[in-house]
Amino acid sequence: MSHDRIAVVDFGGQYAHLIATKVRRLGVLAEIRQPEDPIEAFLPYKGIIISGSPSLSSHGEDQDYNKAIYDLDVPILGLCFGHQEIAKHYGGEVIHGGREWGPADLHIPEEHPLFRGLGPVEQVWMSHYDSVVSVGPGFRELGYTLTGGKPHRFAAIGSDSLRRYGFQFHAEVDDTVHGTEMLRNFVLEICGCRPSWSMERYLEEAVERIRQQVGNESVFLLVSGGVDSTVAAVLLGRALGPGRLHLLHIDNGLMRKNESAQVLARFRELGLGEHLHFVDAGATFLKALEGVVEPEEKRRIIGDTFVEVFQATAEELGIAHHLLGQGTIYPDTIETGGTRRADVIKTHHNRVPIIEEMIRQGKVVEPLAELYKVEVRELGERLGIPQDLLWRHPFPGPGLGVRLLCNRGEPDCTGFEESEPALARLAGELGLQALLLPIRSVGVKADLRAYEHPVLLTGEAPWEELLRAATLITKEVPGVNRCIWNLTGHHPARATPLAAYVTPERLDLLREADAIVTEVLRTHGLYDEIWQCPTVLVPLALGPEGGELVVVRPITSERAMTARPYPMPKAALEEIRRRVLALPGVGGVALDITSKPPATIEWE
Ligand code: XMP
């Protein structure tokens, strides 16, 4: 059946995704559209929501979007930046000023369908520099906020005849206490959408769609063993029966300790062992990565080798003519959609050219392509997949390859003359010792890839102080995107880069360190609290004894678009420090204390 749908115009990654998730929770299928999409792309929708953005409406930023959406005869709701754009488009004024930050009380002077069922004062959440100071003809103020007794006008605006509305606050975040009700009022009442989308429905329809697409053919699915490929496998098995499903697991040599064996065992337990194929391609990957140190180059090689290996293996097994199954999820499709806004922060390898060509030929089955991670997990639960499989930490496709930093043994001190004085001054103020490290890691600043230096901080300070120091340093010191906190106690005079490449020995060392960290998280009851915890091997010697630096990065996150460092309890940190330092080849241990942005979750 066809579902009523809402388009969410994406002016800024995480906001748009959050809106879409919340609308889906109301039972209405929300889909992300790009601001420059042609008007035809907006025709199937019963309403449009324009997201917030890091851009400033008052400065005319991000103006080259498709304004023909305003000519469509469907309701439109703008949130934050979207609110300001609607005000401006219909003759109102937006200025740079009137900034509000955090919770605010929204006063709703008169009843309106958007606020049906809510009180006269509602707590909302603000995060804006620009404000609407006047509205055009036909528009009126539906709500204002009071901060320190001073009104901030036009916190909510609307024109019922045009069916255009705007909220200065973020109705999509949980801190807007009744934000979901406001979105429900817009989507169900004002747009008139029928809620028909649920996971149960999705499951029935997905099974039907798979059967139709596959017909009498078979599917072969690449399975890393992560949540997405596991759910995709069980779903395809449900639709086609295990006899028509071939699973291929490739050990790329960059897996965690004992991982491939466990993955194979799990698929057998899930009743999918009938055509379960395995290839140990570790040697092929290692050979291809020999002597390579540059992160994007490593990613490209891992991606290309993966395609070569799976094609050759499929030929050998005689399954190459089957349709190719992939566990691609919704954000993967969006993020590789080639939008003008998306800078290549990291190359993900689920949409390489050869696979795109197969998609065009209709030879690819992607049964999860419309779902978010939380929805994939919910679907997995409906399919009866055990909880511990569904709640495993995400693991990137290129595996430990992006957690094993490589170096030619040459210091990279680009921009140190500019960074060092600023860092010395700040560190003094913060009461911490700071060392700029002569290597770089990937980060993201203002939505752009930032390949910059980490800073090692040494000293005792409460957790909140450490986080504040990391935020200040990455903000104020040019060329720095990451801070790590030294767990070994003494402040090193220098950090010396070691010549280090992708080798079996280094991979084994990283595997051991990673296994220790995972075990500590489990035994201390932290595994489920933490969203992901990369363990990274950094070829830097902090003292005369040599040995590499191991960095642990526990974070919390909802969608991986943003992340916060997790406050690790002392006992768990101490156990990690002690056990990892005892590994031969390790000379230092540190904790990554940077949010995303400015540092990405992975180091490469
Ligand atoms: P970053 O490092 O960009 O990572 O903050 C965000 C999330 O994506 C995962 N990640 C990947 N996953 N293929 C994947 O399947 C990749 O190439 C890849 N790179 C990063 C990362 O582990 C985190 O969860």
Indicate which residue's Cα is closest to atom 7 of ligand 1.
Answer: 560
Strand order in the sheet with 150-159: 29-33, 5-9, 47-50, 76-79, 164-167, 150-159, 140-147, 93-107, 121-134
Task: Give the per-residue pLDDT at 334.
Answer: 64
Ligand 1: nearest atom to the Cα of 394: 24
Of 83, 128, 152, 170, the catalytic one is 170
Taking Cα atoms as reference points, which of 497, 594, 523 lies closest to residue 552?
594
Residue with tokens 């990937």: 442
Instruction: Tell whether 233 is covered by a domain.
Output: yes
CATH number of the structural domain spanning residue 462: 3.30.300.10
Judge if 172 and 288 occupy the same domain: no
| pLDDT tens string 308-328 | 998 999 999 999 899 999 998
CA-derived radius of gyration, the chain: 26
Six-digit token string for 179: 């934000």
Instruction: Clarify whether residues 484 and 374 are in a common domain.
Output: no
Q: What local confidence, expressed as pLDDT, does residue 499 receive?
A: 98
Q: Bridge-partner residues for 156, per DSSP?
A: 143, 167
Look up 170 and say whether it is catalytic.
Answer: yes
CB 445 within 8 A of CB 425: no
How many whole angstroms separate alpha carbon 39 and alpha carbon 69?
Answer: 7
For residues 167 and 80, the answer to whether their CB atoms sit within 8 Å is yes
- Who wins on pLDDT, 152 or 343? 152
Residue 101 has pLDDT above 90, yes or no: no
Give nearest CA residue, ligand 1 atom 18. Answer: 396
343, 268: one domain: yes
Residues 6+ apart with CB under 8 A from 85: 50, 57, 78
- For residue 511, name the pLDDT band (cuts at 50, 70, 90): very high
Q: Distances in Å between the alpha carbon of 426 and those of 420, 423, 462, 542?
A: 10, 5, 17, 22
* Rounded distance from Cα 256 to ligand 1 centre (Å): 16
Instruction: Judge if 206 and 162 occupy the same domain.
Output: no
**Which of the four pLDDT bands, split at 50, 70 and 90, describes residue 149?**
confident
How high does pLDDT run on average in the chain? 93
Long-range contacts of 373-379 (CB under 8 A, 24+ apart): 373/227, 373/228, 373/329, 373/331, 373/559, 374/21, 374/558, 375/24, 375/199, 375/202, 376/227, 376/228, 376/231, 376/329, 377/227, 377/231, 378/199, 379/199, 379/202, 379/203, 379/231, 379/235
Distance from C-alpha of 9 to C-alpha of 17, rounded to nearest angstrom:
10
d(CA 468, CA 335): 30
Q: Can you list the pairs that 467-473 forms with residues at least 24 positions away whose Cβ atoms lie under 8 Å?
A: 467/565, 467/593, 467/595, 468/430, 469/426, 469/430, 469/432, 470/565, 470/593, 470/594, 470/595, 471/595, 472/426, 472/430, 473/423, 473/426, 473/427, 473/434
Predicted local distance difference test score (pLDDT) of residue 449: 83
Task: Write down the pLDDT at residue 340.
Answer: 43
Confidence at residue 445, expressed as pLDDT on a 0 to 100 scale: 76
Residue 228 scores a pLDDT above 80: yes
453 is catalytic: no
Same domain as 240, residue 334: yes
What single-letter amino acid sits at 352? V
Q: Are residue 56 and residue 98 in the same domain, yes or no?
A: yes
CB atoms within 10 A of CB 85: 27
Beta strand 76-79 with 164-167 is parallel
Shared domain check, 571 and 440: yes
Q: Which residue has the tokens 């180059």?
A: 297
Question: Residue 444's pLDDT is what?
Answer: 83
What's the 152 CA to ligand 1 centre distance in angstroms? 40
- Asked if the bond preceding 597 is cis, omega within 30° of 0, the reply is yes
* Residue 600 belongs to some domain of the structure: no
The residues lining ligand 1, judged by C-beta closer than 6 Å to any ligand atom, are 346, 348-349, 394, 396-398, 532, 560, 596, 600-602
CA 407, CA 499: separation in Å to the nearest integer?
5
Quick one: 207 and 339 in the same domain?
yes
**pLDDT beyond 80 at 350:** no
For the stretch 472-482, pLDDT in tens is 999 999 999 99
Whether residue 333 is predicted with pLDDT greater than 80 in this model: the reply is no
Q: At what angle do helices 570-581 and 504-523 cross, to 10 degrees?
A: 150
CA-to-CA distance for 484 and 457, rounded, in angstroms?
6
Residue 235 near residue 199 (C-beta atoms within 8 A): no
Q: Is the pLDDT of residue 341 over 60?
A: no
Ligand 1 centroid – CA 443 distance (Å): 12
Residue 170 falls within a domain, yes or no?
Answer: yes
* Domain boundary residue, one of 156, 190, 224: 190
Residue 298 belongs to a domain? yes
The verdict on whether omega for the bond into residue 598 sits within 30 degrees of 0, i.e. cis, is yes
* % of the chain beyond a pLDDT of 90: 82
DSSP result, 260-322: HHHHHHHHHHTT--TTEEEEE-HHHHHHHTTT---HHHHHHHHHHHHHHHHHHHHHHHT-TTS
Q: How far apart are CA 208 and CA 71, in angstroms?
A: 37
Q: Could you report how far apart the first and last alpha carbons of the chain are, in Å?
A: 43
> Residue 562 pLDDT > 80, yes or no?
no
- What's the whole-number mean pLDDT along residues 87-106? 92
Tell me if 11 is assigned to some domain.
yes
Query: Which of 190, 222, 249 is the C-terminal boundary of a domain?
Result: 190
For residue 2, pLDDT over 90 is answered with no
Give distance in angstroms: CA of 450 to centre of ligand 1. Answer: 16
Question: In CATH, what number is assigned to the domain containing residue 285?
Answer: 3.40.50.620
**Can you tell me the mean pLDDT for 339-351?**
53
Asked if residue 604 belongs to a domain, the reply is no
Min mean pLDDT across 45-54, 220-229, 237-246, 336-345 is at 336-345
Domain count, the chain: 3
Indicate if 255 and 366 belong to the same structural domain.
yes
Mean pLDDT of 236-250: 96
- φ/ψ region of 568 (left if φ > 0, alpha if ψ in -120 to 50, else beta) reads beta
592/484 Cα distance (integer angstroms) = 4
Question: 104 with 223, same domain?
Answer: no
* CB contact set of 343 (below 8 Å; sequence gap of 6+): 447, 448, 449
Beta strands 47-50 and 76-79: pairing type? Answer: parallel
Instruction: Tell whether 104 and 228 lie within a shared domain.
Output: no
| Neighbour-count burial for 223-250, b at 16+ CB within 10 Å, e otherwise | bbbbbbbbbbbbbbbbbbebebbbbbbb
pLDDT band at 347 (very low <50, low <70, confident <90, very high): low
Do 493 and 428 belong together in one domain?
yes
Residue linked to tokens 């290129």: 398
Q: Please state the atom number of ligand 1 nearest to the C-alpha of residue 398.
A: 17
pTM reported for the whole predicted model: 0.82
In a domain? residue 603: no
Which residue among 361, 379, 397 closes a domain?
397
Q: What's the CA gap between 36 and 341, in Å, rounded?
A: 10
Mutational pocket test of ligand 1: of 14, 17, 222, 348, the residue with most ligand atoms within 8 Å of the beta carbon: 348
State the CATH number of the domain containing residue 131. 3.40.50.880
Torsion angle defined by CA atoms of residues 435, 436, 441 and 446, in that order, rounded to the nearest 10 degrees: 110
Strands 586-592 and 548-552: parallel
- Is residue 181 in a domain? yes
Residues 205, 206, 207, 211: is their CA dihedral positive or negative? positive
pLDDT at 335 over 70: no
Q: Are 373 and 332 in contact (CB under 8 A)?
A: no
Catalytic residue chosen out of the listed positions 100, 141, 172, 512: 172
* 172 included as an active-site residue: yes
- Which residue range is the domain that position 376 belongs to? 199-397
Which CB contacts under 8 angstroms, 24+ apart, belong to 2-5? 3/28, 3/29, 3/196, 3/197, 4/28, 4/29, 4/46, 4/191, 4/192, 4/193, 4/194, 4/196, 5/29, 5/30, 5/31, 5/44, 5/45, 5/46, 5/193
Q: Alpha carbon 40 to chain centroid distance?
A: 29
CA distance 288 to 193: 52
